Structure 1
Amino acid sequence: MCGILGLLLHDPSVDAAPEICEGLSLLQHRGQDACGVITCGPKGRFYQCKANGMVRDIFDSNSITRLVGGMGVGHVRYPTAGSFNNAEAQPFYVNSPYGIVFAHNGNLINTGSLMQFMDHTAHRHINTASDSELLLNIFAYNLQQTGKFRINEEDIFTAIGGMMSQVKGAYACVAMLAGFGIIGFRDPNGIRPVGIATRKSGTGHDYIIASESVVADAGGFVDWRDINPGEAVIITRNGISRRQIAAPNTFAPDIFEFVYFARPDSVIDGISVYRSRMAMGDALAVKVQAVLKNANIDIDVVIPVPDTSRVAALNLAQKLQLPYREGFIKNRYVGRTFIMPGQQMRKKNVRRKLNAMALEFAGKNVLLVDDSIVRGTTSKEIVQMAKDVGAKKVIVASCAPPIRYPNVYGIDMPSRKELVAHGRDNDEIAAAIGADVVIFQTLPDLIDSVRQLRPAITEFDCSVFTGQYVTGGVDEEYLQHVESLRADNNRLKALNLNFGTVEGKSDGDGSHEPENKTGASTPVNGSDDTVGLHNSWNTHS
């Protein structure tokens, strides 16, 4: 799961970088592995800063002031199909046929055939294992087919249409063409979120493209509108153009956005994430009441697992007329353990992240409410923490159904072996995480909790619960391939952690350079219409 952002300011003399970095900090929950910004300044020159790490660590005042220009693209990332290599930090860039910057949220499922096309037909070199770079080059190849020195909006729409006919999977993207403008588009199933908003500025308007509406809200942008499935939007200082490029397939936004990933103050595809989580709590309360009555267990207190489950847990407690308490205190300076690579790192960070207050647990039957149970590593540690401080019984209730299948559309849970619910029933899952009872939301109740806020959406991507993939093209061979890639990447990550690899800015050859705040961003030389890639474009002076 990644976060993307594009910004075009009406006044080209005002630098967009400070606002882009602020926006990326609001999307930090979507990825903590790497972040980056590329801006476009006078004469189509690009300036960039990207590296492994958090937004607050990579972008200080010195690096931000070096990012010149009134439009730019930003990205926060964690690795899925690619590796953790900091050479894969986005946005990506190509200089042919034009200077193009590209940021992508999602995952392609036909990378094998696309790589063959790149090698044998397009003759374009892919330098990383990231499908985002591949998607960029497919887009660039289709632009190149125009054969024009200067392109117009019609050419861009045509190129996006050609790209959409070639690629399969989930993609929400923002691109920037040197000296031209920014572009946003979304896959025909609308699996990953992205939208646009405007803000009055002098005699014109500023425009923003972002993964979540909260970024627009914070920046004073209005008229937020989700980009439709299969739609492309081109924004220049002359205005905005929209076009339905591909006929929409089954509109199926990822329901896990509402369960876990998105911020509660965001609205995605017309659905308030906050209100959907309230509804999840109400529905889960009914299930909890039935299960506990059958098991003859009385609950003394409802405690959420911070932070995502708070809204649902409060509604559940109110519906069941039970006390609601904050039993876990969170250290806000430790990242989200679900996103952290490697089981051992996730396990170590749970107790760094949370501390249980004995006063709320001792001698009580505790109902812990969590948004979901994925690998079970975090859940097991949390249950043990509750018991260590004296909980009599620990019942775990999940706002989501059991996750038994891998996600192939950009969420970091591709290996079935890593999923605690895969091949287990509820009693076996409870035993695996050390709980006395585990209770899961039913899939119909989860879907209804989200869909009731926008009945026009008839389907969601629920593949992690059902194993049914809305795009098709996902078979056993593909799943084994993705699981193998992820296992290799985890081993490499563990090796780098064990040997203390220094992480810093990404050089063009994928090597590591220690952090250098005085040279955090680098200009890329070019002309008004194209940007020439030279051997120091990603070097730090």
Structure 2
Amino acid sequence: MTDIIKHECGIAVIRLLKPLNYYYKKYGTWQYGLDKLYLLMEKQHNRGQEGAGLGAVKLESTPGNEFIYRERAVGSSAISEIFSKVHSSFTAFSPEQLNDIEFVKKSVPYAAELFIGHLRYSTTGKSGLTYVHPLLRRNNWASRNLALAGNFNMTNVDEMFQQLLEEGQHPRDYADTFVMLESIGHYLDREVQYQYDHVDKSNLNGQEVSHIIEEKLDIPFLLKRASKNWDGGYALCGLIGCGDAFALRDPWGIRSAFYYHDDEVVVIASERPVIQTAFNLKKDDVKELQPGEAIVIKRNGNISLNQILNKKEKITPCSFERIYFSRGSDYDIYRERKKLGELLVPEIINAINDDFDNTVFSFIPNTAEVAYYGMLEGLEDHFNHKKAKYILEKGSSLSKEEIDRILSKRVRSEKVAIKDIKLRTFIAQGTSRNDLAAHVYDITYGSLRRGVDNLVIIDDSIVRGTTLKQSIIKILDRLDPKKIIIVSSSPQIRYPDCYGIDMSRMSEFIAFKAAIELLKERGMQHIIDETYEKSVTQLHRKKEEIVNYVKDIYAPFTDEEISAKIAQMLTSKDIKAEVQIVFQKIEDLHKACPNNKGDWYFSGDYPTPGGNRLVNSAFINYINGQENRTHQFTLNFSNKE
């Protein structure tokens, strides 16, 4: 992706099902769980580079010690920092002590059986250590301690916040992270209290009562009560101080979560291949948590799958996970990305007028590479079919030399664009920024015949188009191609996301700006005004009643008209080559990614009512010149119906 966007978060949970001594004897270390957590987090580092955190629960914590240990850090090196801190805590002990498993279990921090890890990208505009997961809710009762981490963004924080107020609470922060922590924590408290009230305490001491409560804690029940009114996409993990753990996925299946367990370990992560790699597993060994489902691990090691929320009729897992966010090493994602490239072939052939002899194909590093391979295979199939048809038509009139010459023709592919990663770190503020930005990518000179060849270059998505205009198109034009065709393996991004991707402002989308320009050029300003008026009338309606009227902005135009306008807007006056932009069709996206049909950022069809409220607010903010990420959460708060 040329326009880097912040996105998603990464989660990891590990529960050791055997005593620490088992791993010490089998694997030579009691740090087995900690080491595996590090692997899971590093393999998901792409999902969050603003901060990282880990938490650990000892199943046999002695009084006077923490129930939950935690380390957090901010910055791109946060993973290394938190694990360095953890390992530095071991230096307080002698080698003899660290080899005494009984001593380790009682006295060494992070010598635990239950771990949670998190990688953060902020999508709320709030940053800093305070907002790095896992968040903690502490109490002197083990069963009331809660550590929470997740990949989520909630669209109805105002309603969730109001619910806590009605319960008599005073939440200390309005961010969805804290509201969810307090919501689950509240129902955890009530569940503990319920169990306490129903325990026969005669002939039992306080510790015995606590253990009975912990055994009886009904995690699925409290999750059902806490999540019944949530609107958003989430993959949420939690640890309880007594040793219980859970992971819950939203009922629309928007955010992803995978798990694996055997007799040694339970592991949960945002992506399947990271579990495969960390534990040397086959694809089918790792299962996907289903929409609305929770996996619950009790302190005694019992594992259960529970349907917490009814799976929605229309399941809409995020298609951006397949196009861009998740690791391409996943078995299915690799094939889906290749298919995305292959399905673009008919549009590409039209763009080059079927002229293979005078066209070079390439890609923009690095995430478009797999789609590029799929595109090449599709082009080669078409080209081979074309050659075979020609030979059959000419038949015996062709000489052996002519046949050899036809068969020797290949799709011309080159590595034209090279990303200069080091240079990006020097791009600063001020008037020099645009000039420096033009050099973030470099080109392979001599890869095209000047003034003769077309150049087709594939990217995985186009959001703002800034890098294309300031850098990519400018450097490609230095090769003097006859025509530059930029191909996006995803459709036009037209609408904000509200479920975990940092795409919230209408002005970010080059497709939206192109549609606005077309309306103005064609004397159709009234559509903008009418859309604004209809959006404003919805401001104080319940989210379930809001309609996405922003679709009206695009309705007068074909996809091709908007694509042509985007190409015009991204082509500077000094560009000599003709520039064309080709986008994936939404229906072809669904063909390539049949199990991930969440396409609201392309289609405007939001899976939850909160999505329509977001796009309504985003459009109003755009027209008013007040594009503020947090505004969406406060619009209805003081106007409850």
Query: For residue 359 of structure 1, what is the aligned residue in structure 2?
Result: 446
2:507–2:513: 8 Å Cα contact kept in structure 1? no
Pair 26,344 (structure 1): closer, same or farther in 2 beyond 3 Å: farther
Distance, in Å, in 2 between the alignment partners of 1:2 and 1:485 is 29
| Equivalent AA in structure 1 for residue 130 of structure 2 | A
1:35–1:74: 8 Å Cα contact kept in structure 2? yes
Q: TM-score, normalised by structure 1?
A: 0.79
Distance, in Å, in 2 between the alignment partners of 1:485 and 1:82 is 18
Question: Is 1:35 aligned to 2:56, yes or no?
Answer: no
1:477 to partner: Cα distance: 4.5
Query: For residue 289 of structure 2, what is the aligned residue in structure 1?
Result: 227
Query: For residue 184 of structure 2, what is the aligned residue in structure 1?
Result: 139
Describe the SS at the equivalent of 2:42: helix
Query: For residue 398 of structure 1, what is the aligned residue in structure 2?
Result: 488
Query: For residue 604 of structure 2, what is the aligned residue in structure 1?
Result: 467
Query: For residue 446 of structure 1, what is the aligned residue in structure 2?
Result: 589
Query: Who wins on radius of gyration, i.e. which is larger?
Result: 2
1:195–1:225: 8 Å Cα contact kept in structure 2? yes
| Equivalent AA in structure 2 for residue 53 of structure 1 | G
Using CA pairs under 8 Å that are at least 6 residues apart, name the structure with larger relative contact order, 1 or 2.
1
2:52–2:79: 8 Å Cα contact kept in structure 1? no
Q: How does 1:58-137 map to 2 (within 5 A)?
A: 58-66=81-89, 68=110, 69-96=112-139, 98-127=144-173, 129-137=174-182
Query: For residue 271 of structure 2, what is the aligned residue in structure 1?
Result: 212
| Equivalent AA in structure 2 for residue 431 of structure 1 | Q
Task: Compare 395-404 and 285-294 and name the one that shifted more.
Answer: 285-294
1:107–1:131: 8 Å Cα contact kept in structure 2? yes
| Equivalent AA in structure 1 for residue 324 of structure 2 | Y
CA offset digits 1:23-46 (Å, max 9, x no partner): 111111112111111112351632
Distance, in Å, in 2 between the alignment partners of 1:245 and 1:305 is 43
The one of 308, 323, 343 equivalent to 1:283 is 343
2:491–2:583: 8 Å Cα contact kept in structure 1? yes
1:403 to partner: Cα distance: 0.4
Q: State the superposition RMSD in angstroms.
A: 3.2
| Equivalent AA in structure 2 for residue 110 of structure 1 | N
The one of 481, 488, 503 equivalent to 1:413 is 503
Distance, in Å, in 2 between the alignment partners of 1:463 and 1:74 is 29
1:346–1:377: 8 Å Cα contact kept in structure 2? no
CA offset digits 1:375-398 (Å, max 9, x no partner): 112222222222245444321000
| Equivalent AA in structure 2 for residue 273 of structure 1 | I
Distance, in Å, in 2 between the alignment partners of 1:347 and 1:70 is 51
Describe the SS at the equivalent of 1:135: helix
Q: Which has the higher strand share?
A: 1
Question: Is 1:375 aligned to 2:464, yes or no?
Answer: yes
2:504–2:629: 8 Å Cα contact kept in structure 1? no
Task: Compare 152-161 and 228-237 and name the one that shifted more.
Answer: 152-161
2:55–2:147: 8 Å Cα contact kept in structure 1? yes
Task: Compare 224-233 and 11-20 and name the one that shifted more.
Answer: 11-20
Distance, in Å, in 2 between the alignment partners of 1:111 and 1:408 is 12
Question: Is 1:8 aligned to 2:41, yes or no?
Answer: no
Query: For residue 313 of structure 1, what is the aligned residue in structure 2?
Result: 372
Pair 86,177 (structure 1): closer, same or farther in 2 beyond 3 Å: same
Distance, in Å, in 2 between the alignment partners of 1:260 and 1:487 is 26
Task: Compare 400-409 and 175-184 and name the one that shifted more.
Answer: 175-184
Query: For residue 519 of structure 1, what is the aligned residue in structure 2?
Result: none
2:153–2:499: 8 Å Cα contact kept in structure 1? yes
Pair 45,144 (structure 1): closer, same or farther in 2 beyond 3 Å: closer
| Equivalent AA in structure 1 for residue 338 of structure 2 | M
CA offset digits 1:58-80 (Å, max 9, x no partner): 24544445461222111111111
Query: For residue 263 of structure 1, what is the aligned residue in structure 2?
Result: 327
Q: How does 1:336-347 map to 2 (within 5 A)?
A: none
Query: For residue 501 of structure 1, what is the aligned residue in structure 2?
Result: none
1:232–1:245: 8 Å Cα contact kept in structure 2? yes
| Equivalent AA in structure 1 for residue 13 of structure 2 | G
Query: For residue 226 of structure 2, what is the aligned residue in structure 1?
Result: 163
CA offset digits 1:273-309 (Å, max 9, x no partner): 0010111111011221133329x89752111111211
Distance, in Å, in 2 between the alignment partners of 1:310 and 1:438 is 18
Distance, in Å, in 1 between the alignment partners of 2:457 and 2:293 is 41
Distance, in Å, in 1 between the alignment partners of 2:379 and 2:256 is 34
1:3 to partner: Cα distance: 0.7
Question: Is 1:238 aligned to 2:304, yes or no?
Answer: no
Q: Which has the higher helix share?
A: 2
Percent identical residues: 24
Describe the SS at the equivalent of 1:189: coil
Pair 227,385 (structure 1): closer, same or farther in 2 beyond 3 Å: same
Distance, in Å, in 2 between the alignment partners of 1:335 and 1:198 is 42
1:10 to partner: Cα distance: 2.6
Distance, in Å, in 2 between the alignment partners of 1:347 and 1:489 is 26
Describe the SS at the equivalent of 2:447: helix
| Equivalent AA in structure 1 for residue 583 of structure 2 | F
Distance, in Å, in 2 between the alignment partners of 1:225 and 1:100 is 26
Question: Is 1:254 aligned to 2:318, yes or no?
Answer: yes
1:198–1:221: 8 Å Cα contact kept in structure 2? no
Distance, in Å, in 2 between the alignment partners of 1:486 and 1:53 is 29
| Equivalent AA in structure 1 for residue 447 of structure 2 | E
Distance, in Å, in 1 between the alignment partners of 2:232 and 2:629 is 21
Pair 79,275 (structure 1): closer, same or farther in 2 beyond 3 Å: same
1:433 to partner: Cα distance: 2.3
Distance, in Å, in 1 between the alignment partners of 2:430 and 2:169 is 39
Distance, in Å, in 2 between the alignment partners of 1:190 and 1:345 is 44
Distance, in Å, in 1 between the alignment partners of 2:457 and 2:270 is 30
Query: For residue 521 of structure 1, what is the aligned residue in structure 2?
Result: none
1:122 to partner: Cα distance: 4.5
Distance, in Å, in 2 between the alignment partners of 1:95 and 1:461 is 37
CA offset digits 1:150-196 (Å, max 9, x no partner): 24466210111112212111111111111313211101101000010
Question: Is 1:47 aligned to 2:90, yes or no?
Answer: no
1:343 to partner: Cα distance: 13
Query: For residue 412 of structure 2, what is the aligned residue in structure 1?
Result: 323
CA offset digits 1:495-530 (Å, max 9, x no partner): xxxxxxxxxxxxxxxxxxxxxxxxxxxxxxxxxxxx
Pair 299,239 (structure 1): closer, same or farther in 2 beyond 3 Å: farther
Task: Compare 464-473 and 428-437 and name the one that shifted more.
Answer: 428-437
For this pair of structures, how many residues does the alignment match?
Answer: 470
Gaps of 5+ in 2: 1-7, 21-29, 90-108, 197-212, 381-410, 515-561, 572-577, 631-641
Pair 60,37 (structure 1): closer, same or farther in 2 beyond 3 Å: closer
1:82–1:130: 8 Å Cα contact kept in structure 2? no
Describe the SS at the equivalent of 1:360: coil
1:103–1:173: 8 Å Cα contact kept in structure 2? yes
Distance, in Å, in 2 between the alignment partners of 1:118 and 1:345 is 50
Describe the SS at the equivalent of 2:53: strand
Task: Compare 91-100 and 349-358 and name the one that shifted more.
Answer: 349-358
